[in-house]
Structure 1
Amino acid sequence: MGQRSPLVTLAAAAVGLVALLVVNSTQTTSTGPASSEAAVTSAPVTPPNTARPAASPPPTNPQPTATKQAAPTPTQQVAVVYAGRTANREASLAIAVKGGRAAAYVCDGRRVEAWLTGTRTGDALALRSRAGDRVVGTLGNGQVTGTVTVHGRTLRFTISKADPPAGLYRAKTSANTIGWIVLADGSQVGIDNDGTPAPAPPLDPSTGTSTVGGTAVTATSVTGDETF
């Protein structure tokens, strides 16, 4: 068989190269883009989150916390003293009232006296002594009107509010019980009772002191809630 000429050989090589390029181009067209498309299709793409963030709920106005308040303190009870003389001026009387309680002292400044305690109900006063003496009165218009029964005698009275230093005072020692009624005009009526009643010595209402038998004693203002 004769030898091929160089031109024939070169032509054959060129044909083979062209055929190789055609085959390669065909494979690239059939597989490359399809595979790429398949890859893109198979991998889901998460779309960017373009949604606006949910608005926060508007702040609610919190209800104010209820402050626990202390139970209200009861109104302070104020003592009021009424003092004066009975209708026929046979005796003097002082009544101290505080809240629903009352205390009273009646005396003639010589020998007759009585200490009484009792109650106030509305405008009505009812007091009694250990010996059975009684005071019954009605409050109104800065006065007390009623009757006092002492040592078996009943006396009518109308007495008025007595502002300090007027009022009702009492001192008690181991041997003596002394009572003073200080009237609005500054006059005093009282008895010093050590078993034998006698007129009480003078009292200094500004200091609440008196001298009994050479000994200084201190008197306290009767407010109405005492027990005798």
Structure 2
Amino acid sequence: MGRRSPLVTLAATAVGLVVLLAVNSTVTGNTDLTQTGGATPTPTATTTAPAATPSTTPSTPSTTPPQTATPPTQPTAVYVGRTTGREATVAIAVKNGRAVAYVCDGRRLEAWLTGPFRDNQVVLRSRTGERLVAAIGAKSATGSLTLHGRTLRFAISVAGPPAGLYRSASKSRTIGWIVLPDGSQVGVDNDGTPAPAPRLDRERGVASVGGVRVTAQPITGDETF
């Protein structure tokens, strides 16, 4: 038994080869499994659309202005007539929220009054303290006035041509005329010494004072003096 026979040596070699092949096959199979099935798939990123955000822009309010009532139309007219006791003649002109009145007796007493015209009412004053208050209608004006300390009442009517109120003014004199509906005239020429006014040529708007021609302007009511 000191020497192995060649057959035993061959058999041992064969067994060793079988074992080696078996181990190699096992290792190779595991490697293939790892390479083919071991890679973890990378998850695909999913993009989620953001939810619609409600608009936060404030609604624009309507710019249409609210409707307002149309103010009543103010008359533009001249009213003329005499006081109730026929002590004086009165003219009131109204226009554009203003009024001018002239009161005179045709001899020496007179007053020019101005002021606002609102809500069909006038409250007018003169530089010398005279006062006139009247309610103005479409066809007439009624009220009262003071003239050199006397209180006079009147109810006068709206007038058209040739009636009207006229005035000529300079540094040295002022002349006022009231032309009544029948064409008659009443006025005062005041150059510091009041006297009856000269005759007015209404069509040309002129008068003669001591041979000097003066120009008269119709008073409409919105003048200031």
Q: TM-score normalised by the shorter chain: which range applies?
A: 0.5 to 0.7
Name the SS for the 1:195 alignment partner. coil
Which letter maps to 1:154? T
Q: TM-score, normalised by structure 2?
A: 0.66
Q: 1:77 to 1:156 in 2, by over 3 A?
A: closer
Q: 1:41-76: CA deviations, max 9, x gaps? A: xxxxxxxxxxxxxxxxxxxxxxxxxxxxxxxxxxx9
Q: 1:175 to 1:146 in 2, by over 3 A?
A: same
Contact 2:98 2:116 in 1 (8 A): yes
CA shift, 1:77, in A, is 7.9
Q: 1:77 to 1:140 in 2, by over 3 A?
A: closer
Measured in 2, the distance between the counterparts of 1:99 and 1:173 equals: 25
Say whether residues 1:109 and 2:106 are aligned partners: yes
Q: 1:134 to 1:90 in 2, by over 3 A?
A: same
Measured in 2, the distance between the counterparts of 1:87 and 1:77 equals: 26
> Which structure 1 residue ranges, 4+ long, deviate > 3 Å from structure 2?
76-79
Say whether residues 1:95 and 2:92 are aligned partners: yes
Aligned residue number for residue 120 of structure 1 = 117
CA shift, 1:79, in A, is 3.5
Measured in 1, the distance between the counterparts of 2:186 and 2:124 equals: 21
CA shift, 1:174, in A, is 3.4
Aligned residue number for residue 63 of structure 2 = none
Aligned residue number for residue 193 of structure 2 = 196
RMSD: 1.5
Aligned residue number for residue 58 of structure 2 = none
Which letter maps to 1:184? P
Aligned residue number for residue 223 of structure 1 = 220
Instruction: Give the fraction of aligned pairs with identical amino acids, expressed as a percent.
Output: 63
CA shift, 1:93, in A, is 0.5
CA shift, 1:90, in A, is 0.4
Measured in 1, the distance between the counterparts of 2:141 and 2:76 equals: 14
Give the one of 139, 153, 163 matched to 1:156.
153
Which letter maps to 1:115? W
* Structure 1 segments unaligned to the other structure (5+ residues): 1-75
Say whether residues 1:181 and 2:178 are aligned partners: yes
Correspondence list, 1:134-149, <5 A: 134-149=131-146
* Structure 2 segments unaligned to the other structure (5+ residues): 1-72
Q: 1:24-57: CA deviations, max 9, x gaps? A: xxxxxxxxxxxxxxxxxxxxxxxxxxxxxxxxxx
Q: How many pairs align? A: 153
Measured in 1, the distance between the counterparts of 2:217 and 2:162 equals: 12
Contact 2:116 2:124 in 1 (8 A): yes
Q: 1:79-121: CA deviations, max 9, x gaps? A: 4100000000000000000021000100000010000001111
Contact 2:74 2:120 in 1 (8 A): no
